[in-house]
Amino acid sequence: MKSVASLPNNLSEEKTDLSTLVKLVEDEMGLVEEWLRTNLIDDNPFVEDLLKQVFLAGGKRIRPLIVLLASRATAPRQEEFSRLHIILAVLTELIHTASLVHDDVIDKASVRRGQETINKRWNERLAVLMGDLLFAQASICLARIMNPTVVGIYGQVLGDLCAGEIKQMRQQFSTTVDWELYKIKSVGKTASLFAAGSHSGAILNGCPNNTIQSLKDYGLNLGLCFQIVDDLLDVTASEEQTGKPVGGDLRNGVITAPSMFILEGGGKNAARLKELIDSRAVLEDGGVQEALKIIRDGGGVDKTIELAGDYARKSKECLSVLPDSQYKSALASLSDYVMNRTC
Ligand code: FPP
Ligand code: MG
């Protein structure tokens, strides 16, 4: 099976190591980790244990990393880097994690990050409430930042997340190829939160509008790249790599870029893939394996890599407004990482 890492891409020759980028904001990331495991809501030890489980399960922490690097890259004076940027990073990861806890209920997922999901280990009711609790923690963080513009941005993100999921739900098992809808849905599900994280630090730093806008565009493009690579890994990666079952999207009737390229290509491959989706054969192991083989052998993977690469490139171009610094370079390297990631 091909992995993304083993496939050609012309973005970067070298594999970007995430830990090198994290090193630049190591102390701040340490504080973010502490905050994430802290029960801000009440002193219920069960909730505290659950929070620890959710956050100890890992996760790449890409979103807080974006917040911290973008905040540093736009800080007028590094010594003024404040607690508020840490809280911004925490709230961005809290919203992300909360949305995944709810997403696992919607997708009836049993495994996330290689561990049993809350809905599987306990039940769906507890998972919904735990997701809500994480959103509540995020609102407390937002209140502590005390910036109405940032409150508005994150309020919009919550709406975008729901709207994105609703669009996806309404398109379930649809084989009509609509790239605009795919993009809008991906902005809602993923890129909106990336964009909030990438430009809110610049707002707190009092940056000029063109800097703020460019960083927002950086996050939007990077978020789109991230979601497309996510859709790709669903086809190319193993469960050991992603911590999620292979072909999960197809099994859930979520038709993404790799399938869309095959469907729009026409011919025998498109007809057979459509049949497997229409008949719901993709709900079974045999059907999903056949669909995955058609996508991999029919060029769906290569075209998806190209599409993701376009967004990665655009994200890097948005950084040209920033003064040169190690943080600016790290943001560019992050685009390479997101493009080449294998998990
Ligand atoms: C993962 O997608 C899911 C998301 C990125 C967002 C999910 C958002 C919600 C469930 C709405 C959140 C609710 C509120 C109240 C804001 P995926 O299923 O493609 O990825 P996966 O394979 O990692 O599960
Ligand atoms: Mg899911």
Per-residue pLDDT of the chain (343 residues; tens, 9 = 90+): 333 433 334 344 456 789 999 999 999 999 999 999 887 787 888 988 888 888 888 789 999 999 999 999 999 887 666 899 999 999 999 999 999 999 999 989 898 888 899 999 999 999 999 999 999 999 999 999 999 999 999 999 999 999 999 999 999 999 999 999 999 999 999 999 999 999 999 999 999 999 999 999 999 999 999 999 999 999 999 888 887 788 999 999 999 999 999 999 999 999 999 999 999 999 999 999 999 999 999 999 999 999 999 999 999 999 999 999 999 999 999 999 999 998 8
pLDDT of res. 80 = 65
pLDDT of res. 114 = 81
Choose which residue among 100, 139, 227 to substitute to test ligand 1 binding: the one with the highest number of ligand atoms within 8 A of its C-beta.
100
Residue 6 lies in a domain: no
Residue 1 lies in a domain: no
Cα-to-centroid distance, 238 and ligand 1 (Å)? 20
Does any ligand 1 atom lie closer than 6 A to the CB of residue 251? no
- Nearest atom, ligand 1, residue 159 CA: 16
Query: What is the rounded end-to-end Cα distance, in angstroms, of the chain?
Result: 15
Residue 11 lies in a domain: no
Does any ligand 1 atom lie closer than 6 A to the CB of residue 165? yes
Residue 282 lies in a domain: yes
Residue 2 lies in a domain: no
Total domains in the chain come to 1
Residue 330 lies in a domain: yes
Residue 14 backbone class (left: φ over 0; alpha: ψ -120 to 50; beta: rest): beta
- Nearest atom, ligand 1, residue 106 CA: 10
Query: Taking Cα atoms as reference points, which of 330, 312, 338 lies closest to residue 70?
Result: 330
Give residue for tokens 């045999």. 286
The Cα 21–Cα 337 span in angstroms is 10
pLDDT of res. 15 = 65
Does any ligand 1 atom lie closer than 6 A to the CB of residue 198? no
Domain residue limits at 216: 18-340
- Nearest atom, ligand 1, residue 109 CA: 24
Q: Dihedral, CA atoms, 182, 184, 187, 190, nearest 10 degrees? A: -50
Does any ligand 1 atom lie closer than 6 A to the CB of residue 102? yes
Residue 62 lies in a domain: yes
Choose which residue among 92, 96, 161 to substitute to test ligand 1 binding: the one with the highest number of ligand atoms within 8 A of its C-beta.
161
Does any ligand 1 atom lie closer than 6 A to the CB of residue 106? yes
Choose which residue among 94, 96, 102, 103 to substitute to test ligand 1 binding: the one with the highest number of ligand atoms within 8 A of its C-beta.
103
The two structure tokens encoding residue 33: 């980790």
Q: Report the CATH number at residue 295.
A: 1.10.600.10
Distances (CA, A) of 148 to 138, 145, 151, 251: 15, 9, 5, 41
Residue 25 lies in a domain: yes
Cα-to-centroid distance, 66 and ligand 1 (Å)? 19
Does any ligand 1 atom lie closer than 6 A to the CB of residue 112? no
